[in-house]
């Protein structure tokens, strides 16, 4: 059978979506019986250490705070590079797996690491997302850099992994000599979500709403969802809740409390309250590579209305509805139909960790 691979997982870009994604993969690998090492950087609001299981060999430090530290993090991550080499040398690591972008290694030490170890890179977005029209120039420039760095790391790494079958096919077409491995999307339902008892003050006394949950950005189609909700006439029966931090980029009437905008980061312990009280969940994206919202909705037994993008097509079940991306009329119709269908029972779902680990082991060979 040979020597089992020894993996160092690297997650240096914490965000509300990236933290549970990376933690889900690391925990699944550890629970499958593999000795596991992880190097993580955390931010002020949350950390990987809260989600990772005891027994994982974890090295973690706070994220950058000063301008100089942030620039180094993005362009010359010397501290992380030294830590990777130190952990790898002491523990005979065979594979280094970048889980959260790790953009700084595109310019600094990425090639050197690829010469020493089997470098595995989880690709989140092959194509750059549309930007909010009101985004400041600094944000646009950084997004351009992050996309460039992503493509450079795709070229540097030995193996590319993705939870999108469509994206795997695209990468294989563009880079025919690259090893590309599909793996299941890890469930974002953490133990803190499962056991959460905190209620959301903005939703006190409110339930039976249509829920959008996620970062508030143009490519997620939140403006289209608002238009469809208004056209549907459902505001006479229920409310639309749009929960997640982000810059507002279109006009929205919230005066009569039929549309509720929760513009902040929601703690994991609030997520159960948010989903349990929803009638169904809407994912009106105009572009997506992968998303964890469906796994949360299904865990809580909620049906989903989603655009017919490849990732959603692969991950919805028979209780859900699809509509053509960007088609407000079709979305309006789907909301009206789902409002009635959502009253029917819907089974909850578990995780797919055994398949995920088997797929990852293929990436490490």
Distance CA 265, CA 244 (A): 6
Q: Strand order of the sheet with strand 321-323?
A: 259-262, 240-243, 209-213, 278-283, 304-307, 321-323
The CB density around residue 321, as the number of other CB atoms within 10 Å, is: 21
- Mean pLDDT, the chain, integer: 90
* The pLDDT of residue 32: 93
Q: Residue 351: which pLDDT band, with cuts at 50, 70 and 90? A: low
Report the alpha-carbon distance of residue 239 to residue 199 in Å, rounded. Answer: 18
Give mean pLDDT, residues 100-116.
Answer: 95
What's the pTM value of the predicted model, to 2 decimals? Answer: 0.85
| Confidence grade of residue 17 (pLDDT, cut at 50, 70, 90) | confident
Residue 143 in this model has a pLDDT that exceeds 90: no
DSSP summary character for residue 105:
G
Model confidence at 317: pLDDT above 60 = yes
Mean pLDDT of 80-97: 96
The 3-state DSSP class for residue 241 equals strand
The SS3 of residue 155 is helix
Q: Are 161 and 183 in contact (CB under 8 A)?
A: yes
Helix (H) or strand (E) holding 98: strand 95-98
pLDDT score for 191: 84
pLDDT tens-digit profile of 175-203?
A: 999 999 999 988 888 888 999 999 999 99
Task: Give the 3-state secondary structure of residue 196.
Answer: coil
Picking from 129, 181, 148, the residue whose alpha carbon sits closest to that of residue 289 is 129
Q: Would you call 68 helix, strand, or coil by DSSP? A: helix
């Amino acid at each position: 059978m040979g020597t089992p691979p020894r993996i160092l997982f690297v997650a240096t870009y914490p965000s509300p979506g990236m933290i549970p994604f990376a933690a889900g993969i690391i925990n699944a690998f550890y629970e499958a019986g593999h000795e596991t090492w992880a190097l993580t950087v955390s931010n002020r609001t949350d950390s990987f250490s809260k989600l990772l299981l005891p027994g994982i060999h974890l090295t973690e430090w706070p994220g950058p705070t000063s301008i100089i530290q942030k620039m180094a993090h993005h362009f010359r991550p010397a501290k992380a590079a030294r830590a990777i080499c130190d952990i790898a040398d002491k523990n005979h690591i065979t594979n280094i797996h970048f889980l959260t972008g790790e953009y700084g290694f595109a310019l600094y030490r990425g090639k050197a690491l690829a010469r020493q170890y089997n470098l595995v890179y989880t690709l989140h977005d092959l194509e750059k997302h549309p930007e909010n029209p009101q985004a400041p120039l600094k944000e646009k420039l950084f997004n351009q850099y992050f996309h460039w760095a992503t493509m450079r790391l795709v070229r540097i790494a030995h193996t590319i992994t993705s939870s999108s079958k469509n994206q795997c096919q695209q990468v294989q077409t563009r880079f025919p000599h690259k090893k590309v491995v599909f793996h299941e999307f890890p469930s974002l339902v953490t133990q803190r979500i499962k056991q959460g008892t905190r209620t959301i003050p903005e939703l006190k006394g409110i339930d039976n709403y249509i829920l959008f949950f996620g970062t508030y950005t143009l490519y997620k189609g939140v403006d289209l969802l608002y238009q469809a909700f208004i056209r549907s006439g459902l505001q006479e029966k229920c409310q639309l809740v749009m929960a997640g931090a982000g810059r507002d980029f279109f006009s929205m009437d919230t005066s009569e409390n039929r549309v509720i905008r929760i513009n902040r980061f929601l703690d994991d312990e609030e997520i159960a309250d948010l989903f349990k009280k929803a009638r169904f969940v809407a994912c009106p994206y105009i572009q997506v590579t992968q998303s964890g919202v469906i796994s949360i909705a299904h865990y809580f037994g909620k049906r989903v209305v989603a655009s017919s993008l490849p990732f959603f097509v692969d991950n919805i079940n028979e209780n859900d509805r699809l509509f053509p991306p960007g088609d407000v009329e079709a979305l309006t119709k789907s909301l009206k139909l789902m409002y009635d269908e959502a009253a029917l029972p819907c089974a909850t779902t578990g995780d797919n960790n055994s398949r995920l680990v088997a797929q990852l082991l293929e990436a490490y060979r």
